[in-house]
Amino acid sequence: DVESSSLERCTTAPSSGVMMKTQPLVSSTPSARTAAAAASPSPGRVAPQQTEEDEVDYDSDESTTLGLLEFSLLYEQETHALHCCIVKAKGLKPMDSNGLADPYVKLHLLPGASKSNKLRTKTLKHTLNPVWNETLVYHGITDEEMTRKSLRLAVSDEDKFGHNEFIGETRVALKKLKFNQKKNFSVCLERVVQVRTKSSEERGRVQVSLHYDSRQGRLVVGVVRCAHLAAMDSNGYSDPFVKVCLKPDMGKKAKNKTQTKKKTLNPEYNEEFSYEIKHGELAKKTLDISVWDYDMGKSNDFIGGCQLGIQAKGECLKHWYECLKNKDKKIERWHVLLNDDPAKFED
């Protein structure tokens, strides 16, 4: 129920230009919420220190009210899906000559913003009080990512003839969410300038299963599907296929690849590949998983990859370790695809 959601009030300190956030207020009526949003911060309240995840610059503009955004978030732990329901906005800043705007909301997962993890609502024309009631879903979000990632929700005005204009944004640290419980938000939009940090760009996700069959002495690798892949073609899609390679010293049998799926950023494969190998040898091996965009007559474009093995980190290491520890058990995990070092995954 949006009416009982916590309202995070955003006001500007004129002397410092730093955005101040008061403690969340619980409001039970629309009028109470409006009054809370209009109230000024109490004297003597000190702006909170910036943390690493909030490393942003704030644009001080006391005279501008950017509007209020209502949305809900739900993380389903079993399916590793983050459901973002964009409900509505109220009192948006007019952006067009007719005193209205053509607003839409764009979502980004931070850090690691890239085209592959941006989702957006439809555009609503000629309104400062848009009602979307639109649910956007991120697939393949791990529990570990929920502890360190933030969701950025940015409202912009679509302009047919020029550059789309930014209205305002808000950010939510995903660690605030309780798993499998919907949380409602009603927050003031802020003008925030993103600080760019150098990091590997996320290019989507891949769902992989590992299973060591002790009877046959085989490692079975399943490529289930990919989600939110980066678009590599001019039509806004890719023609993706997945390559799987167990190395080193596995010879020609080490390399396998899936079928190519046409014009999609969310392909489903459900293909399995097996490698004859002693269980004791697995600790010395690395499993390369890379996703490529097929180009007829040209070299294929590298979308992104990940490496599983004892030398890996995070989810990739955890998945490999669980496979070694649990013989004859099929273990499925999502992995982030990065494009930091294409040379590791030569086509």
- Please identify, among 177, 194, 211, the residue that sits at the C-terminal boundary of a domain: 194
In whole angstroms, what is the distance from residue 180 CA to residue 160 CA?
A: 39
Q: Could you read off the pLDDT tens digit of each residue along the chain, which spans 347 residues?
A: 443 333 344 443 333 333 333 333 333 334 444 444 444 444 444 444 433 333 333 333 433 488 999 999 999 999 999 999 999 999 998 888 888 999 999 998 887 655 566 889 999 999 999 999 999 999 988 888 898 888 989 999 998 766 788 899 999 999 989 999 999 999 999 886 444 444 567 788 999 999 999 999 999 999 999 998 888 877 778 899 999 999 887 777 788 999 999 989 999 999 999 999 999 999 889 999 999 999 877 778 889 999 999 888 888 999 999 999 999 999 999 999 988 766 677 65
**Residues 244, 130 share a domain:** no
Angle formed at CA 266 by CA 262 and CA 272, multiple of 5 degrees: 85
**Residues 208, 134 share a domain:** no
- Give CA separation, 61 vs 2, 58, 345, in Å: 28, 9, 48
The CATH number of whichever domain residue 173 belongs to comes to: 2.60.40.150
**Residues 306, 222 share a domain:** yes
In terms of pTM, does the model score above 0.75? no
**Residues 283, 150 share a domain:** no
- Count how many domains the chain has: 2
**Residues 233, 144 share a domain:** no
**Residues 153, 208 share a domain:** no
**Residues 190, 57 share a domain:** yes
Which residue, among 75, 25, 54, 60, has the nearest Cα to 186 in the 3D structure? 25
- Please identify, among 178, 194, 210, the residue that sits at the C-terminal boundary of a domain: 194
Residue 235's domain spans which residues?
A: 202-345
State residue 211 phi and psi, 5-degree precision.
-155, 115
**Residues 178, 263 share a domain:** no
**Residues 273, 184 share a domain:** no
- Please identify, among 194, 222, 242, the residue that sits at the C-terminal boundary of a domain: 194
**Residues 170, 212 share a domain:** no
In whole angstroms, what is the distance from residue 268 CA to residue 119 CA?
A: 19
pLDDT in tens, 115-124: 566 889 999 9
**Residues 115, 14 share a domain:** yes
Which residue, among 270, 272, 274, 282, has the nearest Cα to 253 in the 3D structure? 274
**Residues 178, 36 share a domain:** yes
